[in-house]
Amino acid sequence: MYAVVRSGGRQHKVAVGDVLEIDKVDAAVGDSLELTPLLLVDGEAVTADADKLSAVKVSAKVLAETKGPKIRILKYKNKTGYRKRQGHRQRYTLVSVTAIES
Domain boundaries, the chain: 2-65+92-101
Size of the chain, expressed as the number of residues it contains:
102
C-beta separation of 1 from 100 below 8 A: yes
Q: Give the chain's end-to-end CA distance (angstroms, integer).
A: 10
Per-residue pLDDT of the chain (102 residues; tens, 9 = 90+): 899 999 989 999 999 999 999 999 999 999 999 999 999 998 888 989 888 899 999 999 999 999 999 999 999 999 999 999 999 999 999 999 999 998
